[in-house]
Structure 1
Amino acid sequence: MVTIGVAETIAETIGVEEEYLLLDSLTGLPTAECPRVRGVAAALPGVADGEVGPELLKAQIEISTPVCHAVDEVGSELCRLRAAVRAAARTVGCEVAATGAAPARSAAVTPVSDGVRYAEMRSQAQVLVDEQLITGMHVHVGVPDRGSAVAAVTRLRPWLPVLAAMGANSPLWDGRDTGYASWRTLLFGRWPVSGPPPAFADAADYERRVQDLLRAGVMADRRQVYWHARPSERYPTVEVRVLDVQPSPCDAVLYVGLIRALVVRAVQEERDGVPPPADAPELLEANTWWAARYGLTGSLCDPGSGRQREAGAVVDELVEQVSPVLAATGDRTTVERGVERLLRIGTPAERQRTAFEDHGMPGLLKMITCDW
């Protein structure tokens, strides 16, 4: 527990799920080797049950950290699990790529993972599933109860596009530059229940609206609530899903600290009776597109003023807003150093573009499979 304000305490547990692409070591194209890689990884010393799992397509693989209490602990767990899946992948002749979208694809359709649910998704969504060669980073932050989770989701909404811009890591698709910093954001936004979450009055309102979606038949189950932030259905957490997977644990831990601070602040404001932000859904949608298009290379909409400002200034404002919480959780130094590094060297998308422009696809593939 961490003390926030006067005699206020809230849970500070954190955890991360990261998805990666499996690329053939010779061609650099997605390869359906998840079952073999998982089998090898599961037998490695120190890898626990459930820490390495499948995703929708067999060319994807997912890791899940244990429940952690410190950002440095999350970083260590990510290093451990990334090393395990990389070693397992190389054993079967492929590489693990930490990029939000496959930079190149073959004409062959990548098969879905085993299971009735994935087969039904393929039957329903077809090309959308075929093109799901995208990977994200999901940050879980522990909260006291379901009501707190819903309140946090509503209050996080204005800052989700800023996080998307900061963590953009998917500029290439089909062997060329898309012009977007996060092409994954556009691809994933094609699912019926995706993108920025609505504002919810309370937990009952959230439940009613999810049930309405299920009754309407537009999603098969609650796991298809793909909003950029949502109350987790499996854990007592808020799950922030807006980020592309990050190139390295060094990149990732910045967002763990920042998102935890945002959630802590949101829960405290709900308890203190601070009104939630009144942001229009159309503006949030447009800001999300803008963030995916430009990353941090231009301007971003400042949630406070509702106007465009230089992107770095908006990022600095975000850090300033949560600075008291960062001090209380002990994450201020990690976040401030991470932001300084990000603004100095650019987003992962910018670094991918530089590698691609300077060294072509071989240089890009080396970056996304070795910069760990």
Structure 2
Amino acid sequence: MTTIGVEEEYLLVDPVTGLPVPQADKVRAAAGLGRLVADQEVQPELLQAQVEVATQVCGTLEEVGGHLLRLRHAVGAAAEAYGCRISACGTPPLRHGRPVAVTDQARYRAMVVQAPQLVAEQLVNGMHVHVAVPGREAGVRVLNRIRAWLPTLTAMSANSPLWDGHDTGFASWRTMIFGRWPVSGLPPHFADAADYDRRVQHLLECGLISDTGQLYWQARLSARYPTIEVRCFDVQLRADDAVMLAGIVRALVETLLAEAAADAPEPRPAPELLQAAMWHAARHGLSDTLIDPDGRVRRAGDVLYELLRYVAPALEASGDTRQVTALVHRLLQHGTGADRQRAALARGGLRAVTGLIGAESTSDLAV
């Protein structure tokens, strides 16, 4: 069975005002002192109002869910000890008028020099899914084939509609914010692994990125692990929605690996169509149409059902069919995190939104 791992980023917020608070160093240290957290599972992020967690390498979705719940509860308890709480949302509903302090590491200080305003507005939280691949050549072939599915995956994960106290009109405003960096958005098509490495090296030599961590493509080859890393997701309100996305990504990667092994033709969607499809997905989430991998305009629910049919053999092989299918059905019935944040805003204003996010961020698994 193909192994997977998940990384999540959380905001630290004041439990009363919902405003970000710069307590990351203290919260990370406190979480690391507990017996629930292993070395390197809680990591620094760019801004001091953010923390990142990384699961161990997992073989099953049950393991993924168990690790995410354990880490969310451990970091949540550490946050409470310093008068704040974790907030699993892609963007903060509210922000201070002044920038949040940057974590005191050399690469983060260099990013402030490179793009001060972008850093000041980088209060965004994502989720990354790593799926093992048998080698870099296989990874590039999967990367080329997964590009057409990235808008659909982005729409499913949309959980960042609010910014500075108002509705942006986008389901995933985080996607739009992240797209402003020099190397971001949809990855290009690569001829092979040597082509991938050559083009990344050229970016480094030109000084356009300072390290491979600044390859902010929505999917990339991991520089540290033998994995493909899918990075298009907003962090999820609930841990079980993160489990659902991890299961879908693993099944999708396994399906694409099989197609590559069979030498099936690689799709080559028009770059302008793919970029516009991603914008459309970030704008609407699942509340409107999506552009499917064949470039057709379809109802969002129909595209999700097509995705489930496409990866069904891989889901069945890993024993994930029941869990993933049930969670996708729940997503279609109850909406994305963006839909739920908007419903809370209409029901009770920003206080209701921060209450929803706080409650859901450490809630137990439902499936």
Residue 74 of structure 1 is matched in structure 2 by 64
In the TM superposition, what whole-angstrom CA distance separates every residue of 1:303-323 from its partner, at most 9, and x where no partner exists? 13x121111001111111111
* Pairing 1:44–2:34 present: yes
Residue 251 of structure 1 is matched in structure 2 by 241
Residue 144 of structure 1 is matched in structure 2 by 134
Q: Distance in 2 between matches of 1:319 and 1:158?
A: 15
User: How far does residue 26 in structure 1 lie from its aligned partner after superposition?
Assistant: 2.9
Residue 273 of structure 1 is matched in structure 2 by 263
Q: Distance in 2 between matches of 1:126 and 1:68?
A: 37
Q: Distance in 2 between matches of 1:187 and 1:270?
A: 33
Residue 278 of structure 2 is matched in structure 1 by 288
What one-letter code is carried by the residue in structure 2 that aligns with 1:147?
Answer: E
What one-letter code is carried by the residue in structure 2 that aligns with 1:194?
Answer: S
Residue 173 of structure 1 is matched in structure 2 by 163
Residue 99 of structure 2 is matched in structure 1 by 109
Query: Which of 337, 341, 363 is residue 352 of structure 2 equivalent to?
Result: 363
* Pairing 1:262–2:228 present: no
| Total equivalences in the alignment | 361
The DSSP-based 3-state class of the residue aligned with 1:17 is strand
The DSSP-based 3-state class of the residue aligned with 1:322 is helix
Residue 90 of structure 2 is matched in structure 1 by 100
Q: Distance in 1 between matches of 2:167 and 2:19?
A: 16
Q: Distance in 2 between matches of 1:188 and 1:147?
A: 27
The DSSP-based 3-state class of the residue aligned with 1:153 is helix
Residue 182 of structure 1 is matched in structure 2 by 172
The DSSP-based 3-state class of the residue aligned with 2:230 is strand
Q: Distance in 2 between matches of 1:34 and 1:52?
A: 10
* Pairing 1:154–2:144 present: yes
Q: Distance in 2 between matches of 1:15 and 1:302?
A: 27
Q: Distance in 2 between matches of 1:302 and 1:17?
A: 27
Query: Which of 206, 209, 217 is residue 199 of structure 2 equivalent to?
Result: 209
> Runs in 1 of length 4+ with deviation above 6 angstroms?
none
Q: Distance in 2 between matches of 1:164 and 1:138?
A: 12
User: How far does residue 27 in structure 1 lie from its aligned partner after superposition?
Assistant: 2.0
* Pairing 1:232–2:192 present: no
Q: Distance in 1 between matches of 2:253 and 2:203?
A: 26
TM-score by length of 2: 0.97
Over the aligned positions, Cα root-mean-square deviation in angstroms equals: 0.8
Query: Which of 328, 333, 351 is residue 339 of structure 1 equivalent to?
Result: 328
Of 262-271 and 122-131, the range deviating more from structure 2:
262-271
Q: Distance in 2 between matches of 1:169 and 1:342?
A: 12
Q: Distance in 2 between matches of 1:302 and 1:110?
A: 38
* Pairing 1:352–2:352 present: no
What one-letter code is carried by the residue in structure 2 that aligns with 1:38?
Answer: R
In the TM superposition, what whole-angstrom CA distance separates every residue of 1:14-37 from its partner, at most 9, and x where no partner exists? 010000000022321111100010
TM-score by length of 1: 0.96
Aligned residues of 2:36 and 2:71 also touching (Cα < 8 A): no
Aligned residues of 2:126 and 2:234 also touching (Cα < 8 A): yes
In the TM superposition, what whole-angstrom CA distance separates every residue of 1:328-359 from its partner, at most 9, and x where no partner exists? 11111111111100000011100000011111
User: How far does residue 209 in structure 1 lie from its aligned partner after superposition?
Assistant: 1.1
Percentage of identical aligned residues: 53
Residue 27 of structure 1 is matched in structure 2 by 17
What one-letter code is carried by the residue in structure 2 that aligns with 1:320?
Answer: R
Query: Which of 284, 297, 315 is residue 308 of structure 1 equivalent to?
Result: 297
Q: Distance in 1 between matches of 2:33 and 2:221?
A: 33
* Pairing 1:86–2:73 present: no
What one-letter code is carried by the residue in structure 1 that aligns with 2:188?
Answer: P
Q: Distance in 1 between matches of 2:153 and 2:281?
A: 9
